[in-house]
Amino acid sequence: MNEQCHRCRGTGLEPDWRGLGRRVRAAREQLGVGLRAAAKRLRVSPSYISDLERGARSWQGPKARALLALVGRGVATGEEP
């Protein structure tokens, strides 16, 4: 079998979840959106967003992508929000 890892897509490198989380937190705070307000808007718990921002969760799910959309997708690539 020649299956690729779903996390690294066969590169052998772990995604930089912590780096992404730091950029998302900075962008969210720059927009003036608090943790609880963001959680309420996305219908998730504040701890879920905190876990994402600390790199404790994967950014591959639909709720995580909704947070990226909230702060600006350019944050994922390091571009300005």
pLDDT value at residue 52 = 94
For the segment 5-53, what is each residue's pLDDT rounded down to a tens digit? 555 666 766 678 888 999 999 999 999 999 999 999 999 999 999 999 9
pLDDT for the residue numbered 81: 43
pTM, two decimals, is: 0.75
The per-residue pLDDT for range 49-78, each reduced to its tens digit, is 999 999 999 888 999 999 999 998 667 666
- First vs last C-alpha separation in the chain: 41
Q: Domains of the chain (ranges plus CATH)? A: 17-73 (1.10.260.40)
